[in-house]
């Protein structure tokens, strides 16, 4: 059985954005995500129920907000709490799995968010 993949279906390019804390003019804390200039190439997939079951030990709770996994063929370029942005879509990194601890492939467990502009 062969699979047909249209161009652009698999590999995506994400921009890593890191959280930066600041204080507003009236003294309130403000958090912004700043572009780091780091690019991550990977495959974006919706998280399945199986993925949620396998990773629930990371959060010490039965339910969590895992919505997507992003598999990259490089070592970890981003850290937990960073945002991977792809056009108008934003993915908050919940956890990272350096597959085999070899720095060869990375699985980013992420939650798609629309409030992190």
Mean pLDDT by runs of 10 across the 117 residues of the chain is 61 93 86 92 83 60 75 91 93 88 86 84
Can you give the pLDDT at residue 17? 95
CA 92 to chain centre: 5
Rounded CA separation 23/41 (Å): 33
Can you give the pLDDT at residue 110? 92
Can you give the pLDDT at residue 77? 92
Tally the C-alpha atoms within 13 A of residue 73's C-alpha that lie toward its C-beta: 7
Can you give the pLDDT at residue 80? 92
């Amino acid at each position: 059985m062969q699979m047909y993949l249209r161009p652009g279906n698999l590999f995506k390019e994400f921009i890593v954005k890191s959280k930066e804390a600041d204080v507003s003019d009236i003294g309130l804390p403000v958090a912004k995500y700043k572009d780091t200039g780091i690019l991550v190439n990977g495959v974006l997939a919706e998280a399945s129920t199986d993925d949620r079951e396998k990773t629930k030990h990371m959060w010490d709770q039965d339910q969590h907000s895992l919505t997507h996994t992003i598999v990259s063929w490089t070592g970890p370029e981003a850290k937990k709490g960073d945002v991977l942005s792809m056009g108008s879509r934003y993915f908050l990194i919940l956890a990272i799995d350096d597959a085999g601890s070899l720095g060869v492939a990375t699985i980013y467990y992420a939650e798609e968010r629309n409030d992190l502009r």
